[in-house]
Structures are given as structure tokens and as C-alpha cells.
Amino acid sequence: MRGLRVAVVGAGSWGTTVACLASRNVPSTILWARRPELAEEIRTEGTNGRYLPGFRLSSKLEATVDIGEACSDADVVVMGVPSHGFREVLEDAAEHIRPWVPIVSLTKGFEQGTLDRMSEVISEVLPGHPIAVLTGPNLAREIIAGYAAGALIATSDMRIARELQRVFHSGLFRVYVGRDVCGAEVAGALKNVIAIAAGMADGVGVGDNTRALVITRGLAELTRLGVAMGGEPETFAGLAGMGDLMATCISPQSRNRHVGEQLGKGRTIDEITQEMNMVAEGVRTCKVVMELSERYEVEMPIAREVFKVVHEGSSAMAAYRGLVRRAAGTEADIA
């Protein structure tokens, strides 16, 4: 790891946390922030009050608003920006990234319009670069506070996977490796939609049994689509699938669960998102999932009800009535 330089593009809660993790293992970690005042705060105060209030960041962490400064000497580039801005920011960074530098995606979503996964966007913008995904049940505030957690590095090249494992594995943050990039990305994106449904259960007060039913059916639902898209079934039973789904559906820290809960209480999606300072990817993803459902001919009843509430003005209670009216089949067909 001697001399290794890591650039993290995106200074949200998770990007900042991953930068802090990397800074424990490599001699140089630089974080790119879009807002000058945030970069200045990270540099001078060692904090990120907007996204991680109350936490001290690594003293080794650098910050900049110059994407060229961040990426030009990097040996690993980590993309931690939301899906709707991913391609634009990566294109800005691309001219500064040296050949063959691995690109690691933290983003859990699809690109609207193209329906591309983030790894597919990377391969278009930076062909020839090794691509990896870091994903799992990773609530940023718990990890930066030092709680035990696990994550998956998924990439087709196990040699690169092992090297990236050494970059991010730190203390109680355990990093595992795997090859299923597609499955890891699909699971990470779709669990946000199911988390909105689980949050709606809390908001309308339908009970823990109902919420457990929705989470279980949601896992089967996202697994069906993920396998149809090329993912491996085992991935959806692991950290990237069930692990991330559980954390996102039950944690009060989950942005997507919060959106669902507020929808369940009768608030509109515009009211909810306007007061949030971080992106809830499931709001955009549920629209893309409907297009993917049609493309791959996979039925997605929970995602469809979430889409109706978020984008068509249906109520959360109507969504739950629609779900319980569905005929029950065998458990093998639980969704």
C-alpha cells in the first residue's frame, strides 16, 4: 500500500465515510466536494457538518473542489455521487484519470433514460478501466462511529478485488470479495424501493407482521429481476442483497425508509424531498424499475405500488390494499 493515492469523488455521508476508511490504510486520500465551503470545512475543521454532524473526520483526509487535483494522481478513483449526476461528474473526472486506474462505484441506483447500471456507465465513459462496486448494509453514521459492519467488493478480477479489499477493510469494517457486479448493483438499487414500501408500512400503522411480509416478498421480487438481468441468486442472499435490504428497511437512519414513512402519514413526495439534504435513490429508482420490469417481463407488484404512490399520487393505504388483494400462491412464488 506504500505510496497509494485514493480519490473519492463525492462528499456526502457515505463518500466521506469511505474516504475516512481508506485514509487509515493508504498514505494519501483526497475527497472531492462540489461545494467550496464544504471542502474548506473538511480541510480546516476536520468535520462534515452537513452530512455527518457531530463526527470528527480522519486528520489524514484532504479535500478539494478541483476534480483534476483529486483524480490526476489517483491510483484508485471512488465514485460516490448520486445516480442522476454520476455520468456528468465522471465525464468531468475522466480527462484527469490515468489509464488502467480502477473505478469503484458506491452508487445504488440506475441511470434514468438508459436504464444503465453505474458499472455500465463507467465502461462507456472510461473503457478499459477495471470496475468494482462497494456495497452492503452500510449506514454511514454507524460505520464512522466505529460499529461493526460488513461490505462486498464486487469485481470480475479477483486480483484487483483483493487489493481493493486492503484499501477499505479497516478495524470492525469487514470487506468481502465477489465477482457478481450485476447482482450487487441490482440488489443495491432495488432495495431502496422496497425500503420505501417498508417505511409506508410504519407510516400507515399496519404492524410489524405486515412489514416483515413486505420485506420478505420484496427480497423475492428484487431477486427475480436481478437474476433476469444476469445476477447470481446467491448474491441476493448475502450482504449486497438481504443484508442491505434489512438495514435499509428497518433503520431510522435510512433515507428511503423515511420517505416511505412520511408518505404513509399522508405527506406528498414533494414536501418530503424538499426538506431532505440527501438523496433518497428509491424515489427515482422505482420509475426505472417499472421500465426494467417490462423489458425483462418480470412482475414487480411491490415496486409498482411504490411507483403509484411516488409518481402517480396514489395513497400508501391504497398501495397496501392493492397488495393484500393479490392471490397467495406457494411460498416458492412468495412475491
Catalytically active residues, by annotation: 191
Q: Give the sheet arrangement for strand 76-79, strand by strand.
A: 61-64, 28-32, 5-9, 76-79, 103-105, 131-135, 149-154, 173-178
Q: What angle do CA 186, 189, 191 make, to 5 degrees?
A: 100
In the block, residue with C-alpha cell 480522519: 58
Q: From its phi and psi, is residue 267 left (phi > 0), alpha (psi between -120 and 50) or beta?
A: beta
User: Is the distance from CB of 227 to CB of 233 less than 8 angstroms?
Assistant: yes
How far apart are the C-alpha atoms of 114 and 252, rounded to whole Å?
32
Cell of 315: 395513497
Q: Could you write out the DSSP letters of every residue in 106-119?
A: ---SB-TTT--BHH
Task: Give whole-number Cα distances, 243 to 138, 178, 187, 259, in Å.
Answer: 9, 15, 10, 20
Closest listed residue to residue 309, CA positions, set 321, 318, 298: 318
- DSSP type of residue 83: H
User: Is the distance from CB of 43 to CB of 63 less than 8 angstroms?
Assistant: yes
Beta pairing class for 131-135 and 61-64: unpaired
Task: Give whole-number Cα distances, 225 to 118, 185, 219, 268, in Å.
Answer: 17, 12, 10, 28
User: Is the distance from CB of 103 to CB of 132 less than 8 angstroms?
Assistant: yes
3-state secondary structure 224-288: HHHHHCCCCHHHHHCHHHHHHHHHHHHCCCCHHHHHHHHHHCCCCHHHHHHCCCCCCHHHHHHHH
